[in-house]
Amino acid sequence: MRQYPGTMLLLAGVLILFGVEQAVGAVGNDARLLALGAIPDDGTMGAEYWRVFSYAWLHAGSAHLVANGALLWWVGRIVERRTGSLPMLGVYLGCALAGGLLIMWKASMYPKPGTSLGASAAVSGLLTCALVLLHRPSAAGFGRALWVRVTLWAVLVSGLAISSLPGVSLAGHAGGLALGALLGFVVPVRRSDALTSSALRK
């Protein structure tokens, strides 16, 4: 687990915030979710731009949290193993921001009741980043098992289908997916031999 401190940090963050949601009775309560940092879907965010980050730490319920947490645990480690902790965290936060900005834009153009929240945009970005990394020759030293790539593609297709369902933020997912794929091509890949040597010393 010590090889993936970034992934563990992110998981701890969303778990702690979900605990806060439960403690204050915010789960399923739009008013309290807004107070914690969700993005209002009616376009009334005003100058509260911090919400483009805070929304990504909140979840609508246990199922929402488990789905995002499980995918984060998987794809976060794939990206972190190949890039290191700080770049992986940068990808996650950048994709959360991209998703938040698109959600905010959509809310201003097409207002409706409700709130937008969840780590889906950021985790979707890690998913596409992981897919690109698994196809980059420079990352081949970390392993590129065919079953992993096929499964990631299947999850991506499923995620795109889910994004079209009512109540799911297509804008947020699209922002995360697009930026994650782009960053997958440009994020530096760490040296696989250095990682192996470090593991052998433990």
d(CA 7, CA 79): 9
Q: Which residues contact 68 (CB under 8 A, 6 or more apart)?
A: 14, 59, 118, 119, 120, 123
Point out the catalytic residue in the list 85, 116, 124, 173. 173
Point out the catalytic residue in the list 116, 120, 124, 169. 120
CA 156 distance to own-chain centroid: 13
120 among known catalytic residues: yes
Phi, psi of 136 (to 5 degrees): -85, 130
The CA-atom distances, in angstroms, between 100 and each of 56, 94, 122, 168 are: 8, 10, 9, 13
173 among known catalytic residues: yes
Count other Cβ atoms within 10 Å, centred on residue 54: 17
Catalytic residues: 120, 173
